[in-house]
Structure 1
Amino acid sequence: MNLEQMEYIKEIIHTQSMSIAAQNLHVSQSAISQSISLLEKELGIKLFKRSRFGTMPTEEGKSIVHNALKIVESIEKIKEDAQTITSTFKGELKIAAIPSLMNFLPKTLTLFKKDYPQIKVTIIEMESKNILKNIKEHSLDMGFTSIKKSFENSLPEHLLFKKLDYNAYFQVIVPKDSPLAFKQSLTVRDLYDYPIVLYTSQFWEEFIYSLVDNDSTVNVLFHTSNSEVLKKTVAEGLAISVLSSYLLTDDPYVETGRIIPISLADNHFVPDLSFGCIYSEKNPQHALVKKFQEYVSKLVNVI
């Protein structure tokens, strides 16, 4: 019996397939099969059986499998504790986030850098589709993004998506002297007669155009990837816009009354989205990513 066999058991349980487990662990299927067979012979118990549902633990093997998973979990915890105690975390952590999830990252980074000043952390703003692509390619270590709830179950096995307790809602921002500024809430139809400046991303374009019925058009003044330019344009009275409430938290334009945020009453797009952090189990920086996630949890609940 050895730790390698415990790792094999964990991956088989995770994938419910010896072939996929072998692929994920970069070993041959025969190597896993022979190793498990040797363990079964040593214990005198059949651990797995194959069925149309996949490779599953046998009734008599369930307790052995349970203990094997606990062993792997304990080993991983020991490694993480050792890294923390000896401060051997090193290298660079590359993180990307969609604009709506950038707000809490500076505070998270402040806490993290206090304990791990030797780690270089790069945070960049990026669209959801590009975050997912770069996570798969290991060009990014961690991404804070939104995905459609219907897409969650189709993510590759090695990609972990941890939901955030993120109750964002969208607000229309208008100039302080706009007739709209005196309304408690706005409907989509209230927006039709005003030029709109849009944040440059597929998400925001889909959101705006999903609100428009077939008989109306959206008067887009221009697109920008700079939220400060967007808010300044609204403050100057040139257009209105729509932003996540999180992007308007502690915002100087709002606090000085130069722009007025107003609730969008008939928002129907957000419920299909899940917000969270995504990373790959295959990433060499996996332990460091999990450590950073602990600091995220101090500010935002991870579900």
Structure 2
Amino acid sequence: MRIDQLLYITEIAKTGSIANTSERLYVSSPTISQAIRSLEEELGAKIFERSRTGLEPTDTGKKIIIIAQEIINRIEDLKNEAKSDSAEIEGHLTISAVSSFCKGIIPKTCAEVKAKFPKITLEVNENKANQVRKDVLNGNADLGINFYPSSTLEENQLFSTTHLIDSQVMVCFRKDSELASLKNIYFDDVTKHPIVLSYKTNDTIKYYSKVFGKNRKLNTFIQSQNSDTKKYFISQGTAISLETDLTFKSDPFYQSEDIVVKPILGIESTLSYYCIRLKNQHYSAAGQEFLKELRVQANKFKE
């Protein structure tokens, strides 16, 4: 039994195919196939069986894969312990994050991590919330930065989650808007104006339904995932926008004298941001240090 055989079966369990595992590990498909056959013969058990969607672990295979992952994790822990000097910590880390977190906190986090750990390489991908989860589930990201409505967070058995920060949703508009004359702004005031929103994903629909109520609809004028597009409509006074304080504190546009940002009263409009990772995936030293610095930067943002 070899370590590479254990690595192959754990990766196939994540990717669902030998071809995908081959691309990820830069090992030929025949080499992986032969290694798995050899391991199955040695153990006297079938680890995978073919299905319409690819390779699926057998019941026995699932147990073998869990133990194999534990062995690989312990080997990685041993390597990390040997590199206890921070300057020696190395590795490549891929982060998938929602856009609001990419504007201020993640850039500062990356700068600090690179300064402290020069041998760590980082790759940050900005995505929608549902894509962040897919990236982590599919093994395309080591860590995901995602938001959940604080009152509807559901623990996923596959994810380990770390709370980072709570952020309030605010309404943003040009200073000559009718909303500017109001001392207090309520939900009914917001619905009277055209709103520019991000695309309606399941996450945003769930959030708005929870906060505003299923029967209370927003007057959507345009949907855009591009933050710059949203700004053009706000600056021309043709629409207002809903943004978290995480966004407007990090973006000079929302701090200009022509733009007003106010809370919406009468509703609990808080988004909670979390770092997510797979529970069965080894938590590398690089990942641990990145998350540690991420929490430091999130706490500084709240100050």
TM-score, normalisation: structure 1: 0.66
- Aligned counterparts of 2:256 and 2:269: Cα–Cα separation in 1: 30
1:96 and 2:138 are equivalent in the alignment: no
- 1:290 aligned partner: 288
- Aligned counterparts of 1:108 and 1:152: Cα–Cα separation in 2: 25
- Aligned counterparts of 2:88 and 2:97: Cα–Cα separation in 1: 26
- 2:142 aligned partner: 141
- Aligned counterparts of 1:154 and 1:245: Cα–Cα separation in 2: 25
Change over 3 Å in CA distance of 1:225–1:84 after alignment to 2 = farther
Deviations 1:204-263 (A, max 9, x none): 34444552563x643211111111221231011110010101100043223321211011
How far residue 81 of structure 1 moved from its aligned partner, in angstroms, is 4.8
Q: Say if 1:128 and 1:146, in contact at 8 Å, map to a contact too.
A: yes
Q: Say if 1:149 and 1:274, in contact at 8 Å, map to a contact too.
A: yes
- 1:177 aligned partner: 176
- Aligned counterparts of 1:279 and 1:125: Cα–Cα separation in 2: 16
* Match of residue 24, structure 1, among 39, 61, 66: 66
- Aligned counterparts of 1:256 and 1:146: Cα–Cα separation in 2: 26
How far residue 92 of structure 1 moved from its aligned partner, in angstroms, is 2.5
- Aligned counterparts of 1:153 and 1:232: Cα–Cα separation in 2: 36
Partner SS state of residue 242, structure 1:
strand
Partner SS state of residue 83, structure 2:
helix
Unmatched 5+ stretches in structure 2: 1-60
For residue 289 of structure 2, what is the amino acid of its counterpart?
K
For residue 235 of structure 1, what is the amino acid of its counterpart?
S
- Aligned counterparts of 1:280 and 1:301: Cα–Cα separation in 2: 24
- 1:120 aligned partner: 121
- Aligned counterparts of 1:281 and 1:248: Cα–Cα separation in 2: 33
Moved over 6 A (4+): none
Q: Say if 1:142 and 1:279, in contact at 8 Å, map to a contact too.
A: yes
For residue 137 of structure 2, what is the amino acid of its counterpart?
K
What is the Cα-based RMSD across aligned positions, in Å?
A: 3.3
Deviations 1:45-79 (A, max 9, x none): xxxxxxxxxxxxxxxxxxxxxxxxxxx99x94x74
- Aligned counterparts of 1:151 and 1:261: Cα–Cα separation in 2: 26
Change over 3 Å in CA distance of 1:291–1:204 after alignment to 2 = same
For residue 129 of structure 2, what is the amino acid of its counterpart?
S
- Aligned counterparts of 1:137 and 1:151: Cα–Cα separation in 2: 24
For residue 167 of structure 1, what is the amino acid of its counterpart?
D
How far residue 138 of structure 1 moved from its aligned partner, in angstroms, is 0.8
Q: Say if 2:249 and 2:255, in contact at 8 Å, map to a contact too.
A: no
Unmatched 5+ stretches in structure 1: 1-18, 28-71
Which aligned pairs between 1:149-160 and structure 2 lie closer than 5 A? 154-156=155-157, 159-160=159-160
Change over 3 Å in CA distance of 1:206–1:159 after alignment to 2 = closer
- Aligned counterparts of 1:121 and 1:238: Cα–Cα separation in 2: 39
- Aligned counterparts of 1:204 and 1:248: Cα–Cα separation in 2: 19
- Aligned counterparts of 1:250 and 1:151: Cα–Cα separation in 2: 26
TM-score, normalisation: structure 2: 0.66
- Aligned counterparts of 2:148 and 2:256: Cα–Cα separation in 1: 34
Change over 3 Å in CA distance of 1:140–1:151 after alignment to 2 = farther
- Aligned counterparts of 2:155 and 2:288: Cα–Cα separation in 1: 22
Greater Rg, structure 1 or structure 2?
Answer: 1
Q: Say if 1:198 and 1:205, in contact at 8 Å, map to a contact too.
A: no
Which aligned pairs between 1:1-16 and structure 2 lie closer than 5 A? none
